Structure 1
Amino acid sequence: MLIFWPGGFLVNSSLLHSLFRVFGLILFALVLLSPVLLQWPQQDLMPFLQWKLIAAVWCYLLVLSLFRSLWPGLVLLLPAALLVPQEVFYLLTYQKNTDAHAIAIVAETDLNEALGYLTGVGVFLAVMVAAILLLWWYLVRSAWQRQWRWEAGVRPLVWLIGIGVLASLGWNEWQYQQINKAKQRSNPEENIFVQRPLPYSYEKFHATYPLNILLALNEFVRQKQAVADIAQDLALFKFSAKQTKAPEARQIYLLVIGETLRPDRLQLNGYNRATTPRLAGTKNVISFTDMVSPWAWTRMSVPVIISRKSPVDQRYFPTETSLVAAFQEAGFNTAWLSTQSPLGVHDSSIALHASEADQVQYLNPVGYKQEGFYDEILLPAVERVVQQNHTRQLIVLHTLGSHFSYTDRYPESFDLFTPSGKGQAISMHDKKSKVMLNNAYDNTVAYTDFILFSLIKQLEQTQSISTLFYVSDHGENIFDGQCNKSGHGHNTERDYRVAALLWTSDAYNQQYPHKKALAEKNRQQPLSTSSIFHSMLDLADIQYPDQKLSLSWVNPAWRTSPRLLQQGLHFDTAKRVGICQELQSP
């Protein structure tokens, strides 16, 4: 028996028109289900049917069953139908469903920038939306005129099934939360991003259209609210920073926060491969060969770079603002441009500081888990910011750099060292892939060389007092020697050693020759990323009342100090144990 019949009881309707309407309903159903059908698995069919296809069908039936007549339900389904082309494009292009990251991309940045990933397919998507709208209008009009209705007794059956589904989800949610209760209580401050387990429904339906849209919206709102609450607490904090002897010439300070780049893989530092040929031939480039990050996790290492947060501070959220706010206080226009994510476990503590900037743009539609856009998308974005011609500018770039999967981080033209496995699915934990992993990693370094060189050329064209400082957030293990470790977070020496570079313009060197000379002098000194906040402000000759010039390596007052790591270990005195050089207390 059909649930509803759009033509069988209509005396004045031709068989052909009835068939058209039935075909229209089937086509509309296929349109609504297409994001799920595109994910049809090669195996594990039952979980797909249970948590994706059946869940999506029931979701649509529930909306349609809210009214005895069919047309109001069809009206309510219009937003889901109109978003199908975008969801299908996202799946086909980036192999993922719309999530909180994708929603944040649109919400956090200029709409033209946010929709940049639709370039070249805009007309196609517009045509698809128009076709869906016409099909929807035909069905709504037919349902209204022909009075399509549910058969008696079917709607309560849909509701009864819904109650059963919700009860099952509720029971599983309770069990799910019980399992994670200990973890959830361990640090209440971090629950919203780090240790709060997502709802059971999110785990099951994050790839089920249209439920994933609703779940992503909810996750986005919750995370944004958490960030807003912390930002409100920090709003009254002030450094009282000033640039008391501001030069008349234009100033641009560019901070590039890299990802997972080790100093020993730079040709500049003596590596036997041509990984930095462009920078090697660029004057005024200084490589700091002994820089250490106290954390091997992005979410904790980046705040140490850009703020005065202690290396041993375990808190996820900051207690004061960053150098972005300090530069603002000193009269600088500030911009934060990123190819990383605006929200999430690994990003929200960073996004909180990014929000301090006058301009914020997140330019990668998929974050780090898929290939997405390469870091070169930042180049035109920087050019647009520079062309705004502010007298004083601070620009912060947060790149994906050498983040695994390495082959996702550079275009085909930079597949220089082969075999790299580009285009293949390679596990970073498979030691058999050691050669390909190392080749691909070196390709990411060569690509970063291109990005930094291009940025330097942009700054040179401005003829301004300018600097570019690059630093990676943490290091990486890649089955070095006989070590069986890959990735980061293993507490090895390679986890903490990071690449760091400084370029200064001719105009800067004329204005601050003593700072340039001290940077040259300290290039091989033991440095920590916890000194970058102090050094960046000193580079720009910005002062504030409780400034610690002993932590600035471009100041005569600089002094070496213990390089503390996240767990309180002293990097330089810790024991190196085993072939992986794991750090332990002496």
Structure 2
Amino acid sequence: MATTKSTVAGRSAIDWAGLGWMFLFFWYFSGVTQALIWASGVAGFSGFRQAFLASALWLVPLLLFPGRAKLLAGAIGAVLWLCSLAGFGYFLVYGQEFSQSVIFIMFESNVNEASEYLGHYFSWSVVLAAAVYGLGGWLLWRKVRPVYLPRRAALVASLLLFTCSVGYPVARQLLKHGEFQTALEDFEKRIEAASPWQLVVGYHQYRRQLGNMEDLLASREQIPPLKNLADAHAGQPSTLVLVIGESTNRQRLSLYGYSRPTTPNLDKLRGELQVFDNVVTPRPYTIEALQQVLTFADQEHPNLYLTTPSLVSVMKQAGYKTYWITNQQTITKRNTMLTTFSKQADEQFYLNNNRDQNARQYDGSVLDPFARVLADDAPRKFVVVHLLGAHMRYKYRYPDEFERFTDRSGVPASVTDDQLPTYNSYDNAVLYNDYVVSSLIERFRATDPNGFLLYLADHGEAVFDAPDPEVLGRNEAAPTGPMYTVPFILWNSPKWQAQQARDFTASLHRPYSSSHFIHTWADLAGLRFDAFDSSKSLVSAEFRERPLLIGNPGQPKSLIDFSLVKPKKPADQGSELVQQERKAKGQPL
């Protein structure tokens, strides 16, 4: 049998071509999918890079046992191919990257639901693509050949490969965090783009977050219902819709006076809308903000979300069938609380199962599930639609046809040339958000409903806005106005408004914190209960103005009134998302 040993000037030469074919064979089962993801613009370069590094690990057994290289490559390759089919096929069908969220959906679906999905998305073209994909792996396997190195050189090379692919990343995370569990979680993020870790890590993360969620759900089941709940609309058919936006600073909406036409559709609906212009969020982060927005917790009582009913529970108690439609990531470490809220609903629609939040996932995907929910024959419906909104990175939030702002027209002179692309992409994201929110209103209105739709954002976002033109992102330690100012818009159906006969004029300019939102919602929905406080309802005649507390309630002395927020000096511009954006120039939030 021929070997790949060769001699140059009496010394053994390394078969670099043989090494190259080995690596290409193993990389193929991770790299092809990641290359497609990168080329399509769904996500950035990081997954491709991670797959490249992780694939080097599989060269080790072939270098240590070169006589069995072909057999080992075939066995390892077969496993990698089988594991990679999930990610490859999922991308072809959904245009998303496979993640633990997909595993969550798989295990949450019953056999009938799984059959329906397979029947709906089955395509012979996908089968053909998978066959071609397998053929490519087989052709590369035929190129694999033994590479013989001196024993010591093989050991050194194997150690270097192991160090580069596994050892160094683990050691780096341990030095960075000093705590094994955190280091392991970060290491997992750096290998899960590659096969078979996409399945292994995804399942491990799914089990861990599922355990956290089940603990939260079990604790919520012990929470008693509201006392003396009364519904002014009891027995009447009604549909109430809550649309939660993301990272949307109202100062960048033309509906609120911004010079650029970023909300042309909502502007046309202006006469039908109640536009509240003085609402702020208590926290500039999604989870922390919604823990208060969707429960009875607030800045002075931040832990009440653990012991009091959520808004979903309140609406179920009032006799509504509840739905949760989300384009946010599903079951990740950060989003487990959101998934816990969603699992309290009767039906869920999880639309964003990308591994990386920083992926091209459009909010227009919520429109079809929303239409299906509206067509449901349940007489009383409560619907939550959670958007990805203007979440960083902004260029992933809108399709190409919404890239309307590309020059300096309407841009403040303080925005530099380097800042301009980011500034424009945020406005384009807001423009697309306008399309989605207005489409939800239009579809809702077309059903001639008895009810209302309310839209608010979880928090704002600073994107080089005056008077702090150097600040990008959100940073609770260095707050600026755009991080906290959020849109708050109400659309009432004619039927509902006729029943209410309510004048909102006095409410539109009231200073209000969305931490008390559950009282406003209850007031709008006609609900009363012992815990209801009319003075915390934005639309109540008994409304009482309070300090708009922002900051970390875990450090009560750090809480300040939003009205005291002052423009930051350039030296104070630190922001965690600024760092993310700078990182993102080399890789994708």
Q: TM-score, normalised by structure 1?
A: 0.75
Report the residue type matching 1:539 in the other structure.
L
**Residues 163, 218 of structure 1: CA spacing in aligned structure 2 closer, same or farther, 3 A cutoff?**
farther
Aligned counterpart, 1:569: 559
- Find the aligned partners of 1:309 and 1:476 in 2 and give their Cα distance: 23
Aligned counterpart, 2:389: 401
- Find the aligned partners of 2:131 and 2:175 in 1 and give their Cα distance: 47
Helix, strand or coil at the partner of 2:527: coil
Aligned counterpart, 2:201: 215
Which shows bigger deviation, 356-365 or 432-441? 432-441
**Residues 465, 162 of structure 1: CA spacing in aligned structure 2 closer, same or farther, 3 A cutoff?**
farther
**Residue of 175, 180, 183 corresponding to 2:177:** 180
**Residues 2, 480 of structure 1: CA spacing in aligned structure 2 closer, same or farther, 3 A cutoff?**
farther
**Residue of 533, 539, 542 corresponding to 1:557:** 542
**1:28–1:135 CA contact under 8 A, matched in 2:** no
Shift of 1:387: 0.6
**Residues 367, 335 of structure 1: CA spacing in aligned structure 2 closer, same or farther, 3 A cutoff?**
farther
**1:177–1:197 CA contact under 8 A, matched in 2:** yes
- Find the aligned partners of 2:106 and 2:257 in 1 and give their Cα distance: 43
Aligned counterpart, 2:310: 322
Shift of 1:446: 2.4
CA deviation map 1:211-253 (0-9, x unaligned):
2321122112111111111211111113336443335542111
Aligned counterpart, 2:371: 383
1:467 aligns to 2:452 (yes or no): yes
1:262 aligns to 2:249 (yes or no): yes
Shift of 1:313: 5.8
Report the residue type matching 2:215 in the other structure.
D
Which shows bigger deviation, 70-79 or 495-504? 70-79
1:494 aligns to 2:482 (yes or no): yes
**1:206–1:212 CA contact under 8 A, matched in 2:** yes
Report the residue type matching 2:56 in the other structure.
I
Report the residue type matching 1:346 in the other structure.
R
**1:492–1:580 CA contact under 8 A, matched in 2:** no
Shift of 1:349: 2.0
Report the residue type matching 1:353 in the other structure.
F
Helix, strand or coil at the partner of 1:501: strand
Aligned length: 527
Provide structure 2 residue ranges, at least 5 long, that are not aligned to the other structure: 4-21, 40-44, 140-145, 147-152, 410-414, 553-557, 574-589
Instruction: Write the mapping of 1:138-157 to structure 2, written as runs, cut at 5 A.
Output: none
Report the residue type matching 1:124 in the other structure.
S
**Residues 122, 382 of structure 1: CA spacing in aligned structure 2 closer, same or farther, 3 A cutoff?**
same
CA deviation map 1:154-203 (0-9, x unaligned):
xxx9999999988995797477446424xx6xxxxxx98xxx34446425
**Residue of 88, 91, 102 corresponding to 1:85:** 88
**Residues 83, 160 of structure 1: CA spacing in aligned structure 2 closer, same or farther, 3 A cutoff?**
farther
Instruction: Give identity over the alignment, percent.
Output: 23
Shift of 1:102: 4.2
- Find the aligned partners of 2:88 and 2:63 in 1 and give their Cα distance: 21
**2:550–2:559 CA contact under 8 A, matched in 1:** yes
- Find the aligned partners of 2:133 and 2:532 in 1 and give their Cα distance: 61
**1:375–1:400 CA contact under 8 A, matched in 2:** yes
Shift of 1:358: 0.8
- Find the aligned partners of 2:369 and 2:254 in 1 and give their Cα distance: 28
1:246 aligns to 2:233 (yes or no): yes
- Find the aligned partners of 1:317 and 1:198 in 2 and give their Cα distance: 29
**Residue of 223, 229, 232 corresponding to 2:215:** 229
Aligned counterpart, 2:471: 485
Helix, strand or coil at the partner of 1:576: coil
**Residues 252, 339 of structure 1: CA spacing in aligned structure 2 closer, same or farther, 3 A cutoff?**
same
**1:338–1:362 CA contact under 8 A, matched in 2:** yes
- Find the aligned partners of 1:89 and 1:159 in 2 and give their Cα distance: 40
- Find the aligned partners of 1:316 and 1:368 in 2 and give their Cα distance: 31
- Find the aligned partners of 2:304 and 2:183 in 1 and give their Cα distance: 16
Aligned counterpart, 1:531: 516
Instruction: Write the mapping of 1:194-213 to structure 2, written as runs, cut at 5 A.
Output: 196-199=182-185, 201-213=187-199
- Find the aligned partners of 2:204 and 2:237 in 1 and give their Cα distance: 44
Aligned counterpart, 1:416: 404
Aligned counterpart, 2:533: 548
Which shows bigger deviation, 375-384 or 319-328? 319-328
- Find the aligned partners of 1:436 and 1:167 in 2 and give their Cα distance: 39
Shift of 1:266: 2.3
Shift of 1:294: 0.9
Instruction: Write the mapping of 1:321-470 to structure 2, written as runs, cut at 5 A.
Output: 321-366=309-354, 369-419=357-407, 431-470=416-455
Aligned counterpart, 1:276: 263
Shift of 1:129: 3.3
Report the residue type matching 1:336 in the other structure.
W
- Find the aligned partners of 2:423 and 2:168 in 1 and give their Cα distance: 47
Which shows bigger deviation, 158-167 or 98-107? 158-167
**Residue of 283, 289, 298 corresponding to 1:295:** 283
CA deviation map 1:6-28 (0-9, x unaligned):
xxxxxxxxxxxxxxxxxxx9998
Q: CA RMSD in A?
A: 4.8
- Find the aligned partners of 2:61 and 2:224 in 1 and give their Cα distance: 50
Instruction: Write the mapping of 1:153-164 to structure 2, written as runs, cut at 5 A.
Output: none
- Find the aligned partners of 1:528 and 1:303 in 2 and give their Cα distance: 13
- Find the aligned partners of 2:352 and 2:474 in 1 and give their Cα distance: 23
CA deviation map 1:303-356 (0-9, x unaligned):
221111222566698444410111011111111111111122432222221111
Which shows bigger deviation, 201-210 or 105-114? 105-114
**1:258–1:472 CA contact under 8 A, matched in 2:** yes
Report the residue type matching 1:86 in the other structure.
G
- Find the aligned partners of 1:132 and 1:86 in 2 and give their Cα distance: 10
**1:279–1:453 CA contact under 8 A, matched in 2:** yes
**2:296–2:305 CA contact under 8 A, matched in 1:** no
- Find the aligned partners of 1:72 and 1:439 in 2 and give their Cα distance: 50
- Find the aligned partners of 1:420 and 1:359 in 2 and give their Cα distance: 45
**Residues 32, 439 of structure 1: CA spacing in aligned structure 2 closer, same or farther, 3 A cutoff?**
closer
**Residues 98, 2 of structure 1: CA spacing in aligned structure 2 closer, same or farther, 3 A cutoff?**
farther
Helix, strand or coil at the partner of 2:519: helix
**1:108–1:360 CA contact under 8 A, matched in 2:** no
**Residues 566, 132 of structure 1: CA spacing in aligned structure 2 closer, same or farther, 3 A cutoff?**
same
Helix, strand or coil at the partner of 1:498: coil
Provide structure 1 residue ranges, at least 5 long, that are not aligned to the other structure: 4-24, 139-149, 151-156, 185-190, 422-429
- Find the aligned partners of 2:394 and 2:27 in 1 and give their Cα distance: 37
Helix, strand or coil at the partner of 1:280: helix
Report the residue type matching 2:350 in the other structure.
Y
**1:32–1:81 CA contact under 8 A, matched in 2:** yes
**Residues 366, 37 of structure 1: CA spacing in aligned structure 2 closer, same or farther, 3 A cutoff?**
closer
Helix, strand or coil at the partner of 2:222: coil
CA deviation map 1:523-542 (0-9, x unaligned):
10001111211111221112
- Find the aligned partners of 2:2 and 2:307 in 1 and give their Cα distance: 62
- Find the aligned partners of 1:179 and 1:26 in 2 and give their Cα distance: 30
**Residues 445, 29 of structure 1: CA spacing in aligned structure 2 closer, same or farther, 3 A cutoff?**
closer
